[in-house]
Amino acid sequence: MANTILVGAQWGDEGKGKIIDVLTERADVVVRYAGGNNAGHTVYLGKKKYVLHLIPSGILRRNKLCVIGNGVVIDPLGLVSEITGLQKMGIKVGRNFVVSETAHVVFPYHRELDAQREVLKGKNKIGTTKRGIGPAYGDKVARVGLRMGDLIDPARLEARLSLRIKESNSVLKALGGQPVSFKQVLADYNKAGKFLKPFVENTVVLLHKAMRRGEDILFEGAQGTFLDIDHGTYPFVTSSNTTAGGACTGSGVPPHRMDRVVGVLKAYTTRVGEGPLPTENQEISDLLHGMGREFGATTGRARRCGWFDSVATRHATMVNGIDDLAVTNLDGLDTVATIKVCVAYRHGKKRYDYMPNDAAVLAACEPVYAEFEGWLTPTHKAKTWKQLPPKARAYLKAIAELTGAKLFIASVGPARDQTIFV
C-alpha cells in the first residue's frame, strides 16, 4: 500500500474513521498527525460502535502500531479515559500504542480560555468543540506550551505549570472566567503522566525505523480541508494544519516518503459549528436528521447539511494533492428524487471554480447547481460496483470528475463490509 495520507476533503466528519479502519487492513502503522480530542472518528465492528478521539482508528485491528505524532495536542485526562474505555471493551492498548514526547499538552486553562473567547465573540463565535484546542496550539506557537516529555517528568511539570498557571489565570480573570487551581491540576496531571509514561517515545525515530523495515504507514487526518488553519474558511476553522502537508510536519516523515493521498468525502456536505456553508439546505438537513444521522460524534450537535459542493472538493484536491477518492454515505441520498450538485459559485458578476479566500465573500456566494436524477433504490446491500443502481454510478462518476480525482471507494453504510472498491 506504501505510505498513504488520508484527509477529509470537506468540513470534517466525512467518514475518515470508517475508511481508515478499512484501509488499515493493508497498513502496518497508523499515525494521527493533527488536531486533538476535538475529533470524533466512528468505527463499527459488527454492531459495536467505537468513537475514537485521540487514538488512531487502527487500534481496532490486531498487530497494527498506532502512533500519536508530534502535531497532535493531547488532553492527558481524555487520553487516559480513552485508553481505559477501549480496554474495557476488550481492545488491546499496550505496546501497539505510542505517543510522541513532543506532542503538546492541553490543560484545563486552555478549555476555559476556549469557552471564554467564544462568549466574548457573541454572535461571531466559531462554535468550537470547547476542548481547548485553539489556546493549546496558541501556546505551542507562542513557545510557552508544555509537551508530553514535560508531563511525564514531575519536577519539570511542577516548575513549568506553575508559571503557565500564573499567566493563564490572570488572563482568565480579566476575561471574567474561572481561574484554575494549580494544586488540583498538578495532582491530576501527575497521575495522568504516570499512567501515560510507558507510551511516550521519540516517534520520529520510531517511524523512520518502521520505514527502514519496509513497513507501510497510513496517516489518519483529523477534521477536514476547510477547517485547516491556513486553507480553511478562516476564522471559522480549527487551529492546526489538517491538510496533507500537516502529515509531514505533524509526524516527522518527509514529503518525498509520501506515496499517495486519499481524500474522504461525503456524497453530500455537512459542517458542525459556525461559518459559511454555501450549499446548506434545510430539506436535506431535515431528511438526514430524520433518519437519525448527522449528529456530531464528539459534541452531539446536529450537523448542518447541504448538497455536494464540487467547488470545495476540487479545491481540496488541489491543496492536498488528492489521488484517490473515498465517497461515503452514498446511501443517505437513496430517497432523494432530484439531487443537486454545486458546480461553481457566483458572487455578483464573478464566477468561482475554486474557494474564495475571504469567508465573507464565500458567505455571499450563490451556488450554481447541476441536477441529477435520484436512483430511489436502497444501496446499503450493494457489494460491488455493478450492484449499484446505474443512476448512483452516474452520480458517483460525475462528482469524481467534478472533483478531479480518481474514484477509489464508494461506501454505502457504516460497516466494514459496506465498502465498494471501484
Burial 98-116 (b: 16+ CB within 10 A, else e): bbbbbbbbbbbbbbbbbbb
Distance of closest approach, residue 9 Cβ to ligand IMO, in angstroms = 11
C-alpha cell at 13: 466528519
Q: Which of 378, 406, 373 has its CA nearest to residue 391?
A: 373
Per-residue contact flags (x/-) with ligand IMO for residues 89 to 128, judged by CB under 6 A: -------------------------------------xxx
Q: Could you say which of ligand IMO, ligand GDP, Mg ion, none residue 91 binds, taking C-beta under 5 to 8 angstroms by partner kind?
A: none
Name the β-bridge partners of 7. Answer: 263
Supply the DSSP symbol for 217. Answer: E
Compute the distance between CA of residue 302 and CA of residue 233 in angstroms, rounded to an integer. 20
The residues near 104 (Cβ < 8 Å, ≥ 6 apart) are: 73, 74, 136, 137, 139, 140, 145, 146, 147, 148
- Cβ(160)–Cβ(146) below 8 Å: yes
- Cβ(409)–Cβ(421) below 8 Å: yes
Q: Does 223 bind ligand IMO (CB under 6 A)?
A: yes
Residue 231 a catalytic site member? no
C-alpha cell at 190: 501527575
Compute the distance between CA of residue 51 and CA of residue 185 in angstroms, rounded to an integer. 26
Residues 290-309 that bind ligand IMO (CB under 6 A): 297
Q: Which of 398, 393, 394 has its CA nearest to residue 382?
A: 393
Residues 260-299 that bind Mg ion (CB under 5 A): 297
Q: Could you say which of ligand GDP, Mg ion, ligand IMO, none residue 273 binds, taking C-beta under 5 to 8 angstroms by partner kind?
A: ligand IMO
Residue 41 a catalytic site member? yes
Name the β-bridge partners of 49. Answer: 44
**What is the helix (H) or strand (E) element at residue 337, kind and residue range?**
none
- Cβ(30)–Cβ(230) below 8 Å: no
Q: Does 39 bind ligand IMO (CB under 6 A)?
A: yes
Closer by beta carbon to ligand IMO, 14 or else 150: 14
Q: Which of 21, 28, 41, 150 is catalytic?
A: 41
Distance of closest approach, residue 360 Cβ to ligand IMO, in angstroms = 17
Residues 318-337 that bind ligand GDP (CB under 6 A): 328-329, 331
Q: Could you say which of ligand GDP, ligand IMO, Mg ion, none residue 15 binds, taking C-beta under 5 to 8 angstroms by partner kind?
A: ligand GDP
Q: Does 17 bind ligand GDP (CB under 6 A)?
A: yes
Distance of closest approach, residue 283 Cβ to ligand GDP, in angstroms = 19
Residues 276-315 that bind ligand GDP (CB under 6 A): 297
**Which residues make up the interface to ligand GDP (CB under 6 A)?**
8, 12-18, 40-42, 297, 328-329, 331, 411-414
Binding residues for ligand IMO, per CB under 6 A? Answer: 8, 12-13, 38-41, 126-129, 131, 133-134, 222-224, 227, 238-239, 272-273, 297
